[in-house]
Amino acid sequence: SRLPPAFLLVAAFLATPVCALPKILCLHGGGGNGAGFQRSSNVAALESALSAQYQFVYADAPEAGGLWIRDAPGGKGAGTTDPNWAATSMTYLDNLVESQGPFKGILGYSQGSAFATYYLSQRQANQTAPFQFAMLFCGYIPTVHAGLTDAINAASPFHGISTLVFMGQNDFIIQNSLTSAQAEKFT
């Protein structure tokens, strides 16, 4: 038997993929994880405010202890010169961008902001690819890792990607001077 034309129209409509919201890739701070970052009150408020325009995707740092950039063998302040010091996190994000992208923007907080800056230095091919914008909160340049910092300096200003850099007046962890130095890399 033949199906009525209205049924065929409905079936065609249901088979058509719904346009998904553009995505923002979110990188938590050092020692955290994606689920905890998503539950934090400020991030939850931002996601709620933008929920009609964007889908937030929360990544988990692949290094032990929830780090994007692992500490040097001599401790947190010892430093490194290896330009591939964050290779594990680079590979992890490359795979995530490939499997869950495309992404319209990247958002980073604290160490996630520092790593987002390094990731952009290595992957931002032009003003809009792979990201059209970056939102960086309470970040810094990972200066104890000279190899990463050299790569950031060489690629700055990252093809002019639109960037918001936020610093907290009462941030007692990441000094505003560190976030200002990060912001200068985008101008």
Q: What is the pLDDT of residue 7?
A: 55
| pLDDT tens-place string over residues 102-114 | 999 999 999 999 9
The amino acid that residue 88 corresponds to is T
Q: What is the pLDDT of residue 128?
A: 87
Strand order through the sheet with 105-109: 55-59, 23-27, 105-109, 133-137, 162-166
Query: 128-142: string of b/e by CB count within 10 Å (b at 16+)?
Result: eebbebbbbbbbbbb
The amino acid that residue 12 corresponds to is A
> What tokens does 162 get?
């639109």
| pLDDT tens-place string over residues 14-54 | 555 556 899 999 999 999 999 999 999 999 999 999 999 99
CA dihedral 177, 132, 53, 115 (to 10 degrees): -40
Half-sphere exposure for 165 (CA within 13 Å, toward CB):
20
> What tokens does 73 get?
């063998």
Q: What is the pLDDT of residue 171?
A: 83
| pTM (whole model) above 0.75 | yes
List the chain pLDDT tens, one digit each, 187 residues. 565 555 555 555 555 555 689 999 999 999 999 999 999 999 999 999 999 999 999 999 999 999 999 998 888 778 899 999 999 999 999 999 999 999 999 999 999 999 999 999 999 988 888 999 999 999 999 999 999 999 999 999 999 999 999 998 888 889 999 999 999 999 8
